[in-house]
Structure 1
């Protein structure tokens, strides 16, 4: 790896630490926002659900822009939107403004600064033999951000209040723009993977949508989003409802992030040695088992920490094999766009997980139904991933459009 590639990878890791760290701390604002505005959990959950779906939809467009023009402008725009969303969120007094700030603006900001933009840039910076390793390192960096940033967010809320905490985060988010410059990767012919046919952007998208294995990957990633978004948004409130202090919720999310540093890194390595679909099957089955045991055991500090650790090892471990499968099927030339399509499936699941968590809590006074839904969906995801073919997708006829 040359110096330029090393700088790109390091900058990408730091950017993911910040972007994912901020994003993982939003669940900590649910209790104070509820108390300050006398809103229901459903009201706040809707804004976070909008954030996830906007993130997913715009990730596709941001990926297409990055593939055409490079990542720098996309990351700069994403950083500005991220900061604006958090700053405006500090002054919300109506659900509409909350949906606009925490939902639309932050969702757009994450779309321009997170995995869908940064991981493909990192994958393009190294040769194919190091691709899975780089994807694992980048995912692990995002998880490290979750471990580092979330406790800091809780400390800010405790010491200066939730409004000032959001303002501090908004100002710090502007620093992500500086990391865009080493990541200024543009598409080149050399980025087309050997053995795959050369295609235009539109042809690659059409080939993906017609390839059954790609669509199964989208369906499976829906479940990943459902579980992760539900836990991130509602775990702190779930624990407070059961008598734990706010710090326990923050540290539960942080432990998940810390353990996933190891889990994501190992997933990247294992995905380079074993079939990626089999790695994904194991991840989803373990997740289902972890949730089931957590729900059946008496709730205690020990059970919370053990569950957080186990879930953490398999938290974002889905990302290296999933993004790796996209690269295997279609190469890296249009990876930002095509991973964005897969990630849209993830964010549809995120929307459902966050929104259902809030609405079912308001209807039943409990999160239990959504916990069990997540476990069942994880089993279904394992089944969906099994028939995926780990090989290049057949091209569409050259007569189907041009980029």
Structure 2
């Protein structure tokens, strides 16, 4: 693996630390809550009489809506700041959960978990929150800062999954979803801390104070023509496909393998726990090696792990090992991908540029979640979708290794 020019970043300063902590708390709430949705597929089907395909479609739809809404949410944060976008998103997210909790109908489920949650997640996760971290940190610290925020955000997955499982088992589906909606609202005020250093690190500004920033339209046109940006966009599709399938269907698959029902929730929580270390490690590696090469190896490891898990006999140990390795490679793609975009194009329009790439990710998420349910209903087995998920890792690796990370934008001015 080729190494980048060594950089020894200074310790993070207090304003940046505040932004990282706030970002981690918001991402913890949003990502932790959506990670619990796989626990509700069976109960929605058994208790409310809804087909598995329909529940999977609602979960898949929120991924699709998230993807289409992300460029707009990122552009709004680029222009107005992250705080109002996070506030709107948290309220919409909570409303979607409450709608799904309060009505047993298929329409309410699709509108709540599909449409409203999708819009809410786009405003409370990576495209808005993590890009605020990217602006707050210096270029030398950026990959590490994003990795730390992503790692801290994994705490929500560790805590939310067992919390949702416990409340659902003791008080039912509705109470569990209402409790998650309340926690999402509690996280909203932390968005006010994300804009503390919004004035620093402005990209696309040359050393000359008189230089005008590059307009968004010109930046987008340049990015679309950039081969590396296109490859990154295609590769991120695989990430969404793999993660959504596993998060949505792993608990059900383990039940088919005659494993304890609680093991599915444990596996999802373990993925979140190990993702804390994996996101930090990917951020660290991204500051010392070429980010596209780290991404390539990450996808290879993930694909091989998925193939081995599916082919080998199932046991509690194999599930735990699978969850651990998947956790180490889970969301480490996000700081690496957003950091690579920031390196090549700067951070002024980072929310929008990452949002476009993330749309590809969410198209993959939609297919991963929905096809899992469709293939199972059609064949009675997850075999075909497990094979496709493993092969997708090789496909993504082949796309990432040749990406050119040469800076194609005016260099950001140094900060004292």
1:359 and 2:370 matched: no
Aligned match of 2:111 in 93, 100, 108?
100
Q: Residue in 1 aligned with 2:163?
A: 152
Q: Residue in 1 aligned with 2:274?
A: 259
1:75 and 2:86 matched: yes
RMSD over aligned CA atoms reads 1.6
Q: Residue in 2 aligned with 1:398?
A: none
Aligned match of 1:299 in 314, 326, 350?
314
What is the CA–CA distance in structure 1 between the aligned matches of 2:312 and 2:279, rounded to whole Å?
A: 27
TM-score, length-normalised on structure 2?
0.92
1:116 and 2:122 matched: no
CA deviation vs aligned residue, 1:343-372 (integer Å, no higher than 9, x gap): 111000000100100100000111111111
For structure 2, which runs of at least 5 residues remain unmatched after alignment?
1-11, 411-416
What is the CA–CA distance in structure 1 between the aligned matches of 2:103 and 2:57, rounded to whole Å?
A: 14
CA deviation vs aligned residue, 1:293-347 (integer Å, no higher than 9, x gap): 1111111111111111111111111112111110011111111111111111100
1:308 and 2:323 matched: yes
CA deviation vs aligned residue, 1:80-135 (integer Å, no higher than 9, x gap): 00100001111232222211000000111111101111111011111111101111
Q: Which moved more, 1:386-395 or 1:365-374?
A: 386-395
TM superposition shift of 1:273: 0.5
Count of matched residue positions in the alignment of Structure 1 and Structure 2:
395
Aligned match of 1:136 in 147, 163, 167?
147
Q: Residue in 1 aligned with 2:414?
A: none
What is the CA–CA distance in structure 1 between the aligned matches of 2:206 and 2:276, rounded to whole Å?
A: 33
TM superposition shift of 1:392: 2.0
Q: What SS does structure 2 have at the residue aligned with 1:191?
A: coil
Q: Residue in 1 aligned with 2:37?
A: 26
User: Aligned runs of 1:4-403 on 2, under 5 Å?
Assistant: 4-184=15-195, 188=199, 190-192=201-203, 198-393=213-408
Contact conserved, 2:136 with 2:197, CA < 8 A, in 1?
no
Contact conserved, 1:208 with 1:393, CA < 8 A, in 2?
no
Contact conserved, 2:345 with 2:409, CA < 8 A, in 1?
no
What is the CA–CA distance in structure 1 between the aligned matches of 2:289 and 2:204, rounded to whole Å?
A: 20
With over 3 angstroms needed to count, the CA separation of the structure-2 counterparts of 1:149 and 1:56, relative to structure 1, is same
What is the CA–CA distance in structure 1 between the aligned matches of 2:13 and 2:200, rounded to whole Å?
A: 19
TM superposition shift of 1:145: 1.4
TM superposition shift of 1:244: 2.4
CA deviation vs aligned residue, 1:37-89 (integer Å, no higher than 9, x gap): 22222111110111001011111100000001111110000000010000111
CA deviation vs aligned residue, 1:234-276 (integer Å, no higher than 9, x gap): 1111112222233111110011111111111010000110111
Q: Which moved more, 1:385-394 or 1:70-79?
A: 385-394
Q: What SS does structure 2 have at the residue aligned with 1:273?
A: coil
With over 3 angstroms needed to count, the CA separation of the structure-2 counterparts of 1:18 and 1:189, relative to structure 1, is closer
What is the CA–CA distance in structure 1 between the aligned matches of 2:408 and 2:269, rounded to whole Å?
A: 38
What is the CA–CA distance in structure 2 between the aligned matches of 1:169 and 1:146, rounded to whole Å?
A: 12
Q: Which moved more, 1:305-314 or 1:136-145?
A: 136-145
TM superposition shift of 1:190: 4.4
TM superposition shift of 1:148: 1.6
Q: Which moved more, 1:102-111 or 1:242-251?
A: 242-251
What is the CA–CA distance in structure 2 between the aligned matches of 1:288 and 1:342, rounded to whole Å?
A: 21
What is the CA–CA distance in structure 1 between the aligned matches of 2:144 and 2:64, rounded to whole Å?
A: 29
